[in-house]
Amino acid sequence: MTTVYYIAGILLIVLGVGVSIALHELGHLVPAKRFGVKCSQYMIGFGPTLWSRTIGDTQVGVKAIPLGGYVRMIGMIPPRAGDAPGQLRSMSTSRMGTLVDQARQQSMDEIEPGDENRVFYKLSVPKKVTVMLGGPLMNLALAFVMLTILMSGIGVQSLVPTVSTVAQCIPQTPPTVAKPFADCVAGDPKAPSVAAGLQAGDTIVEVGGVPVQLWAEATAKIRASAGQPLDLMVERTGTRVPLTVQVGQVVRPTFTEEGKVAVRADGTVITETVGYLGASASVGYVRQPLSAVPGELGRMLGATASVLLRIPEKMVGVFEAVTGQSDRDPNGPVSVVGVARAGGEIVSGQYGPETGQSIAYRIIGLIFGLNLALFLFNLVPLLPLDGGQVVGALWEGVKKTWARLRGRPDPGYVDVAKALPIAYAVSTVLIAMTLLLAYADLVTPIKLG
């Protein structure tokens, strides 16, 4: 049964990745068609075609390797100045130059009689930018929807005031760096939670007459009430039960911003005396207001961008991990193989007991992160990425505007074919990175739990 759940988790991730790719390419397809560009293919995946059908003048299909997709728009590369329609003059004898000429010829060959005004290169600059940004913006919109579901639908994982365990005593052993929270020993006084009748499974809904939703809200009042009686309202099996607790006192260590036990110069632990109930929290999901989503999306965009900027450094670490020189960085990049593997591990319970809610939270979270990365990655201003086409279009706009202001003739379209050597180099690097990451996710996988 575990194997079945593992496969189900992988299939959920594959489905999520497929939908993300499909919507990304749809973000290109819809505006391109609306602006009159002929789109001969809309494909999800690469490699051999598994299924296809023709809708209008577009072949729609699914290919075997779900690592991307594409929309084939005719006339992506403009003719060179001086070339007759449908005719290409060979300008280079070098190998790279020949490849560029072949790519230009292929682009011209796609233009059939009657399609001369349905080519991408004849679009205005704003329309070109709209078409090329449509894909990444679709990923951003999808990420926003999924983050809204996570935060306001399922809720954010938090410590909630549902009691998971009840302590039996107030520990009297002083805290140390090695053991900041002492265990009960013979002679320690009974915990206030036990004396008041608090039980595992109770949910604290009020402390001192004030409603609480998070464990931190409850403990803040408890810690400030050392040695004093405190009224609690708990919910037990659907019924509200009032309890009065005589809050105890306990010596606790203080912590640094990094989460380490704070110590003095002589190595002794810095402590404080606080109120003590003797109960531990549970992990639950707390729904956030819709107004909190945009701010969190902005924060995570910044965090993801900082990770992408360090990709070259991270890839060195991946290479060292697969060659046995170091351990795999748990915060390093992963491929779709790694994400799919994590999906299988989540659904099959390899990260511990899971509920339907927690599985949904983790799976949606993985696809959310993938879409956020796709949005930012495709904005990189290099061909063959969408950002490279955007830069080409903007440069065309700058050149035309400058010529118009100076009263000079229209300089024509920007020849993106000149950047094809860069595109080939970038494609080679991306393929190498993808293969390295996929191999690393098979032999030295990251445990995302």
81 pLDDT higher than 70? no
Alpha-carbon dihedral 223, 228, 231, 235, rounded to 10 degrees: 50
244 pLDDT higher than 80? yes
Straight-line distance from the first to the last Cα atom of the chain, in angstroms, rounded to the nearest whole number? 21
DSSP string, 229-249: EEEEEEEETTEEEEEEEE-EE
Two tokens, residue 172: 């009297």
Two tokens, residue 362: 């983790």
pLDDT digits (tens, 9 = 90+) for 58-71: 999 999 888 789 99
How many residues does this entry show for the chain? 449
Q: Indicate if 112 belongs to the active site.
A: no
Place of tokens 């796709």: 374
pLDDT digits (tens, 9 = 90+) for 6-47: 999 999 999 999 999 999 999 999 999 999 999 999 999 888
The pTM assigned to this predicted structure is: 0.83
397 pLDDT higher than 70? yes
131 pLDDT higher than 80? yes
Closest by CA to 67, choosing from 16, 135, 18, is 18
What per-residue confidence (pLDDT) applies to 96? Answer: 67
Q: Which one of 25, 206, 345, 396 is the catalytic residue?
A: 25
> pLDDT band at residue 136, thresholds of 50, 70 and 90?
very high
Domains and CATH numbers, the chain: 1-35+123-155+289-449 (no CATH), 159-286 (2.30.42.10)
CA distances from 336 to 17, 235, 358, 435 (A): 8, 44, 21, 11
pLDDT digits (tens, 9 = 90+) for 166-196: 998 998 888 888 888 888 888 889 999 999 9
Asked if residue 79 has a cis previous peptide bond (ω within 30° of 0), the answer is: no
The radius of gyration of the chain's CA atoms, rounded to the nearest angstrom, is: 30
